[in-house]
Amino acid sequence: MSDRPTTPILDRVNVPADMKRLSDAELKRLADELRAETISAVSETGGHLGAGLGVVELTVALHAVFDTPKDKLIWDVSHQCYPHKILTGRRDRIRTLRMKDGLSGFTKRSESPFDPFGAAHSSTSISAALGFAVARDLGGTTESGLGDAIAVIGDGAISAGMAYEAMNNAGHLKKRLIVILNDNEMSIAPPTGAMSSYLSRLYAGDPFQEFKAAAKGAVGLLPEPFREGAKRAKDLLKHTVVGGTLFEELGFSYVGPIDGHDLDQLLPVLRTVKARATGPILIHAITKKGKGYGPAEAARDKGHGVSKFNVVTGEQKKAPSNAPSYTKVFAEALIDEATRDDKVVAVTAAMPDGTGLNLFAERFPARCFDVGIAEQHGVTFAAGLAAGGMKPFAAIYSTFLQRGYDQVVHDVALQRLPVRFAIDRAGLVGADGATHAGAFDVAFMANLPGMVVMAAADEAELVHMVATAVAHDDGPIAFRYPRGEGVGVEMPERGEVLEIGKGRIIRKGKGVAILSFGTRLSEVEAAAEALSARGIEPTVADARFAKPLDRDLILDLAANHDALITIEEGAVGGFGSHVAQLLAEEGVFDTGLKYRSMVLPDIFIDQASPRDMYDVAAMNAEHIEAKVLATLGIADISKRA
């Protein structure tokens, strides 16, 4: 406790209403204390540090000026919400961030009335805020009332199409709506695309002021790095449209740019906007991710996602790795294949580091494409690459691939284009919780005609699946793998091309067969050892493919065992459902086979360690053992009271 910062003003703030009694000078000191408290808390929990540090002053100003929770403050993505949580009655729990039974790392409606809309995927805030604004004007209500709707969105998130769909609609409806563009020149990866250049031009030249009385001369008060933003886009300055902005063309009044770390600018601008705004208005604030903490400011990703760390040195406390991560194995396998095949290209949607494609880009910069936060575009772009004779790998987290599903159906599967989907973060992911769980991709990919769907049981299998995907030109193919380390198996020198739709027997037994799809295989093997000690010798098989199924393997297992159990790290409707359909159509159930399918439960599982999350899902070794015993009708004496 003695190492924690001294926070006399923050100690007086339990909820934002307490800030109404503070002077502007005290609000500045509150911001300093809030930054110190955020750094201290995240040093103990790990999490998203840089984004929150970049909006400390903005968080203080918004809560001081507006009347939350009646006024709805919506943080886009909400990586940056830790300071907000500290000010909204959750300071006493802030050191439980991202832990089991603790605070979510994102905004969450069920957690607090000050979180009016949950988020963890980007670019949803303006749409949600517009919904609140229209509900307000139509007489809708919430428990805390309905006042202003304020969306805070970053320069990375505003590059996504959904944000523009929302702004276009908001400009048409002309409802009072406040959008804060938090422009820190940095999302998770360096921002890419024309929008980033456009924002550079906006604050490189003279500001376009609608509310000149509120922010007169604001740019003159900007620090030198902001005033000299022309260095980012000097070749584009000549294209600046004097007297108007893209935002104004969409129907928004535009205020800015202003210094998002200067409360002498933020407070009067926000107060004036609150008093005078009529229709939609956009306030352009320039901030610095990781602001106020040297190690975060110096980091390449500005302290986006950190482990527990030493506050003084910034050194992160990471456990030593016993095996390579699946993400790194994928990246190295893809690089290896690309050295032999110049048609291999890679596509990521703003996650080069998270997907390992930063390593690919270092080796093959001309063959790696970061399309920004634009999964829909990324999938169809990959489809175009495939149609043009390339071998595109679309490396996208399972939870983010959901955003591009129509394109997977319409632009890839329907045209049988050989796009290779590398689906990272499959299954339950730990501290990020339900919003990032890769629960649904097996179900939504395996029901598409012509789609090949694989799941790696370990890191060596992943290498083989990368090679298989490179060689597969007859339509689309997908392979999934989890977050975190592999299981420590011996790695092949080079991946081998697997026969499409063929699984493998891991262990031969009798009586009961367990058919695993994905990385639960190691838990299945542990369960088989425990069962063996009881005198039960299960057959264990690795399906490898959910589409097409290995019919011969599955029917053989069914014919030669009394019971068959499938297991997968996905929701109902996936691998097990396809196996059940096959068995039903083949009349296998008519002869009395006992069949069970272990899938993720029909709930969203809150953040915890992956092990604890799989406990909730009842999919660890002890649960598999219990499922076998129950299926065979054998009492588990170890569970008796």
Q: How far apart are CA 510 and CA 516, in angstroms?
A: 16
Residue 146: what are its φ and ψ, rounded to 5°?
-130, 115
Which whole-number Å values give the CA distances from 550 to 148, 502, 517, 632, in the listed order?
Answer: 57, 5, 12, 25
Q: In this structure, what DSSP letter does residue 295 have? A: H
DSSP structural state of residue 410:
I
- Output the CA angle 535-541-543, nearest 5 degrees: 155
Q: 472 near 501, Cβ under 8 Å?
A: no
Cα–Cα distance between 522 and 486 in angstroms, integer?
Answer: 10
* 157 annotated as belonging to a binding site for a ligand: yes
- CA within 13 Å, CB half, 410: 8
Residue 633 annotated as part of some ligand binding site: no
Give catalytic residue positions: 289, 375, 403
Contact yes or no for 255/210 (Cβ under 8 A)? yes
- The reply to whether 184 sits in an annotated binding site is yes
560 is in an annotated binding site: no
Burial class (CB within 10 angstroms; exposed 0-12, middle 13-18, buried 19+) of 319 = exposed
Closest listed residue to residue 573, CA positions, set 451, 447, 443, 449:
443
Instruction: Identify the DSSP state of 187.
Output: S
Tokens linked to 9: 């003003």
Q: What element of type H or E holds 345?
A: strand 344-348
Q: Does 119 appear as a known binding residue?
A: no
Taking residue 528's Cβ as centre, other Cβ atoms within 10 Å add up to 23
Q: Is 411 annotated as a binding residue?
A: no
79 labeled part of a ligand binding site: yes
Phi, psi of 159 (to 5 degrees): -80, -10
Q: Is 122 annotated as a binding residue?
A: yes
Indicate if the alpha-carbon torsion angle 569, 575, 577, 579 is positive or negative.
negative
493 is in an annotated binding site: no
d(CA 625, CA 524): 8
Is 204 known to sit in a ligand binding site?
Answer: no
State CA 586 to chain mean position distance.
Answer: 40
With H, G, I as helix, E, B as strand and everything else as coil, classify residue 12: helix
Query: 367 and 320 in contact (C-beta within 8 Å)?
Result: no
At residue 155, what is the residue type?
A: D
Tokens for 157?
């998130």
- What's CA 435's distance to the chain center, in Å? 7
What is the maximal distance between C-alpha atoms in the chain? 83
Residue 584 corresponds to which tokens in the numbers above?
Answer: 């039903």
Pick out the residues of the known binding site for Mg(2+): 155, 184
Mark the binding-site residues for thiamine diphosphate, compressed into ranges. 79, 120-122, 156-157, 184, 293, 375
Can you say which residues are annotated as belonging to the binding site?
79, 120-122, 155-157, 184, 293, 375
